[in-house]
Amino acid sequence: MSESLVVKSRLMGKITIGALKEGAFDTSDGSTKADAKTYEVKFEEGDLAINVPGRDKAILRDRGDVVGVLFGDEQPATLQFTANLRDLTNASAETLNDIAAWLTRDPWAASGYTDYVSQNWPSVYETSAGSDATVNGISILFEITNPGDSADVHKMVANFCFGSMSVSEGDPDTISLSLTCTDGGKGDPTPVMVS
């Protein structure tokens, strides 16, 4: 099969946030794993930005002349997107603001929160051995569907992400999430691309 000739646009995308110990999305096909909590982002700006720096590279020189390159440290991928602010908190359903605020909290120090996310969402950084995560984290699924062809769907999975949030007043008010992804789901910080 040759490369698609359909140019992608923000009108074709969809962002889904998930939570399940050790990752919410299957890296083989992008499907949601059983028992995962999910939230489809609505009223978003369509401004998702993904940065995948790969490993650091160290240039080796011999008296100023380049003689080689060495791999350095792995660098995490980063994602950022903005959506319209619709609800600050809810005790019986997920809100984007509750998800974002939950990401910023220390799981050991944050008690007494009654929103649905704090009470029901597990961190992707929790192991199967128990709740030993030291950071709250989510999974991200980004899908692009070519218009008029639901069979032509492209997916990107980043299963282990933590992050921060910001809220801005305006017309409309907006909420932005900035995520750092430590594992796409295959043991490497690079998001996993699925066709």
Residue 5 maps to a domain: no
State the average pLDDT for the chain: 90
**166-190 residues labelled b (16+ CB within 10 A) or e (exposed):** eeeeeeeebbbbbbbbbbbbeeebb
Mean pLDDT for the stretch of residues 149-169: 91
Contact 104, 179 (CB under 8 A): no
- Residue 15 pLDDT > 90, yes or no? yes
Provide the whole-model pTM.
Answer: 0.90
Number of other residues whose CB lies within 10 A of the CB of residue 164:
13
Question: Residue 44 belongs to what domain range?
Answer: 10-194
Residue 20 maps to a domain: yes
Residue 2 maps to a domain: no
- Rg for the chain (alpha carbons), in Å? 19
Residue 1 maps to a domain: no
Mean pLDDT for the stretch of residues 9-15: 91
Residue 165 maps to a domain: yes
Least reliable range by pLDDT among 27-36, 69-78, 132-141: 132-141
- H or E element in which residue 93 lies: none
* pLDDT computed for residue 110 by the predictor: 62
- CA dist 81 to 38, 105, 126, 154, Å? 17, 20, 25, 19
Q: Which residues pair with residue 157 across a beta bridge?
A: 141, 192
Residue 4 maps to a domain: no
Residue 170 maps to a domain: yes
Total domains in the chain come to 1
Residue 146 maps to a domain: yes
pLDDT (tens digit per residue) in 96-121: 999 999 999 887 766 788 899 999 99
